[in-house]
Structure 1
Amino acid sequence: MTTLPVTTLLVIAKEPRPGRVKTRLTPPFTPRQAASLAEASLADTLDTVAAVPACRRVLVLDGEPGPWLPPGFDVVPQCAGGLDERLADAFARCAGPALLIGMDTPQVTPELLTVDFAGCDAWFGPAEDGGFWALGLARPDPALLRGVPMSTAATGAVQRDRLVAAGLRVRDLPRLRDVDTAADAHAVAALAPDGRFAARLARCAAPASRTDGRFAARPAGSAAPDSRPDGFTGRPGGSAAPTARTDGFAARLSRSAAPDSRPAGPR
């Protein structure tokens, strides 16, 4: 007898529009190039989610869907409020087990997202920058996310401690790196060289240097100076969790983006 999947897969994301996504990639990239990279990252993520058995796939979106959206996804709007409120609301829409990820981990694989809640109550995916790229709950409870300080070096540690304090049995996914800076982009692309993100990055040349003396474009591999968080995980540093995989997959991140005009929250 075939067992039907019972897990809902959630992707929280922002419409990839210039000036509203991946602002820490500019410079060295232009806002249009940064948005193009965000679109490729989101498309890779959605394709991976589409390949994972699930009872439902949901894109929790700030903005409007575009041609990058594959079939098989329900699209629901993000609620108002901080990132903790928007993550909590995404889980509140689920009646059974759910796994949520962001849009900034194009290196994620179907194997990483195929989780089994037998013997545990939660799955936690730590990010290299101290946030988290994935969170799975066997019994979604929005209260587990509300009030967690987002976009700090301790975001992941605080969120995981919240799960443990609630008496949940937590299993850890590998630590991943999300795409915030140009250095992140090149490192993540190297982990998934056959994806859209890597191909798009290869086509994006660094913009020409400014001639008005205000700044010169940085090399494509250097980190952008803007330290504003724009998504799902925290800033560099933070909590560590054991790396569970030994198959050569160099674990990295994800972040889901909050609008620049909202208080930012937590690959």
Structure 2
Amino acid sequence: MPQAGGGLDHRLAAAFGHAPPGAPALLVGMDTPQVDAATLAGPLAPGARAGVDAWYGPATDGGFWALGLARPTERLARDLLLGVPMSTDRTGEALLARLDRAGLRVHHLPRLTDVDTARAAAEVAAAAPAGRFAACLDRITTVPRAHR
């Protein structure tokens, strides 16, 4: 699905508008490569979804790595997201306030580090050392003997 134009808040809201009617939708940031199926399987299992209107995955930098809606519509997503300052240390706080004002029951996912810096990349690779991200980071940061 091609991204909509505009800022991140507009693009995220538009993405929820593409969800099939009546189906839950979860958007996951691509800068959290340590997320795996096990992280999401429990909270998103059909039995665990009862009574949940939204899923929120906080990031250690004050943002968020995941946002899910049990019954997404583009209108709801626009109400929740448009005008939320993105990529700041208060983004998550602002989004949580919107979720609360909308009266949504929120399931909090684990707090994760998103990869915005070299230090964060090393932290994420250490947290999932057997993953592809760690292997790729190792390849690009290892200096060949001939260049030492």
Normalised TM-score (structure 2): 0.84
* Alignment pair present for 1:84 and 2:9: yes
Equivalent residue, structure 2, for 1:180: 116
Q: Which residue of 2 aligns with 1:146?
A: 82
1:127 aligns with 2:59: yes
Runs of 4+ more than 6 Å apart:
none
1:49-86 CA distance string (max 9 Å, x none): xxxxxxxxxxxxxxxxxxxxxxxxxxx11010000000
Report the secondary structure of 1:180's partner residue. coil
Structure 2: which 5+ runs fail to align? 144-148
1:66-85 map, 5 Å: 76-85=1-10
| Structure 1 unmatched runs, 5+ | 1-75, 208-267
C-alpha RMSD of the superposition: 1.4
Measured in 2, the distance between the counterparts of 1:112 and 1:149 equals 27
Alignment of 1:1-267 (within 5 A): 76-94=1-19, 95=21, 96-114=23-41, 115=44, 116-140=48-72, 141-142=76-77, 143-205=79-141
C-alpha separation in 2, matches of 1:164 and 1:198: 36
Name the TM-score, length of structure 1 as normaliser.
0.48
How far did 1:205 drift? 3.0
* Deviation readout 1:192-242 (Å, 9 max, x if unpaired): 1111111111111378xxxxxxxxxxxxxxxxxxxxxxxxxxxxxxxxxxx
* Counterpart Cα distance in 1 of 2:80 and 2:88: 17
Distance 1:130 1:157 in 2: 7
1:99 is paired with a residue whose SS is strand
* In structure 2, C-alpha distance between the alignment counterparts of 1:152 and 1:184, rounded to whole Å: 16
Cα drift, residue 117 of structure 1: 2.1
Between the aligned partners of 2:38 and 2:136, the Cα distance in structure 1 is 24
Secondary structure at the aligned position of 1:77 is classed as coil
What amino acid maps onto 1:204 in structure 2?
I
Identity of aligned residues (%): 62
